[in-house]
Structure 1
Amino acid sequence: MSDTCCEGCNRPDLPWAGRGTDLPISGCRFTLYPMCDNFIDIILGGLECVDTSAVWSETDALSTVYRGKLDYVMDAVSALFASAWTEGVHMAIEGQVSKGCPGDVSGDSKLTYEGEAPNRAIVEAATQPCLCKLALYPMGVGDYIDDIARVWRMAEDRGLNPQTIHYATRIEGSIHDVFAYLTDVCKLMEASESVHHYVLHFTINVNSPTVE
């Protein structure tokens, strides 16, 4: 992270002054939107289907957050969406993945879990088609557009038909393939020597009534 960004984040007058963590904590905060009368059953049923043994989780009136190692966090989020999928129900999930935020804390996470992702079978079976728009924000990086172009080309290489739309990139594929791509975008940012804090915002949609 640039010196300018660090100095700004550590200003004593900011609400998060003195916070921060060196732990490898990734987090995703998301909200599920089923467009149907029985939305409560779909939301709560989806949450109950997810094995959260590998992540720290919390649900409130607005959203749910999973925190821990990146692979396990994305395993849980994708399993939630796959489990909540219902035939004919228009549904969306909106979320953001973040790592390296100077306002983060070392607590509220699970980093000791090892082994296979608990929800792998659910995720691998999620072949339902979906649409996704995403926006990547590599923070404190002067040449951030190169990182954005890199992940765009990665979507192209995977056959996800990336399209540049206003303020975002649109891709399409199965639930499994789209979440696998989002996970690898995060991994690419975490492997970068220049990106110390990134945010990936995404919206995924299934069974949309919009005819294209």
Structure 2
Amino acid sequence: MFSGAQVSLYPMTSNFVPVILDAVKALDPHREQLRIETDDLSTLLVGPPEILFKAMHDLFVTAARSGEHVVLHVTVSRGCPGEPDAEICRPSVVLGERKPTSERISSAQAVIDSTAESNQHVSAQFSYYPLGENKEYMTEIYAAIDFIKNSGVFSKSKNFCTKLEGDAAKVFGTLGQVFLNFAPEQAHVTLDITVSANSPSTKK
């Protein structure tokens, strides 16, 4: 299997260079588990699906703690048929375990409930695509929606996407559980994610 994310960070400040460089340094604890490549457009993270969201959380929270308005855009994928299997991507958890939907939702919620907060408020919106020939893809989407609505970070449904809001650790954790649990292991799954912190539009 191949899993990875293309990550682009946008600090809304003229002093953007140190914000970006400090955020990239936050990936250092994950470098043994990830292949990381950076160019002028994005940073590629390749590795186990369960590690990707922890790394993205650390990168974004570091940037957000600068106090500047920062936005992260991510395309994350697992199981793409156009990518070769990579040993570094071998997960330590079972992906999309074929348990009853209610059990998968309960297991995912238990992970979120036990997640320590990062004390950084964020807003996010995402679209979820379980691809391939799986005729039950809408069942998986509805299961993910049921989980999200009870996750504690659901904000509202929007055209073509869902908005989340809350502590960064809970938001990234919820996105990670969707990615891990709501499509079969052999499925091609992608998420398109935008995360924002310190936006002036949220300040009164």
Which residue does the alignment assign to 2:168?
Answer: 175
- C-alpha distance in structure 2 between counterparts of 1:87 and 1:68, whole Å: 27
Higher helix share: 2
Equivalent residues of 1:138, 1:144 under 8 A apart: yes
Q: 2:68 aligns with which of 77, 83, 89?
A: 89
1:203 is aligned to: 194
TM (norm. structure 2) is 0.79
Name the counterpart of 2:38. 59
Conserved 8 A contact 2:50-2:91: no
State, as a whole percentage, how many aligned pairs show the same letter. Answer: 28
Matched residue pairs, number?
178
Tell me by how many angstroms 1:43 deviates.
Answer: 0.6
Distance 1:112 1:138, change over 3 A: closer
Q: TM-score, length-normalised on structure 1?
A: 0.76
Structure 2's unaligned 5+ residue stretches are 93-114
**Do structure 1's residue 29 and structure 2's residue 34 form an aligned pair?**
no
Cα distance change on mapping 1:162 and 1:152 into 2, 3 Å: farther
Q: Between Structure 1 and Structure 2, whose CA radius of gyration is higher? A: 1
CA distance in structure 2 between the partners assigned to 1:45 and 1:145 by the alignment: 40
CA distance in 2, matches of 1:189, 1:57: 26
Q: What is the DSSP-based 3-state SS (H/G/I as helix, E as strand, rest coil) of the residue aligned with 1:205?
A: strand
**Within-5 A mapping of 1:1-212:** 23=1, 25-50=2-27, 51=29, 52-107=31-86, 110-111=88-89, 124=116, 126-140=118-132, 141-190=134-183, 192=184, 196-211=187-202
RMSD, aligned α-carbons: 2.3
Deviation for aligned residue 1:124: 4.4
Q: Which residues of structure 1 form unaligned runs of 5+?
A: 1-22, 115-122
1:125 to partner: Cα distance: 5.4
Q: What is the letter of the counterpart of residue 26 of structure 1?
A: S
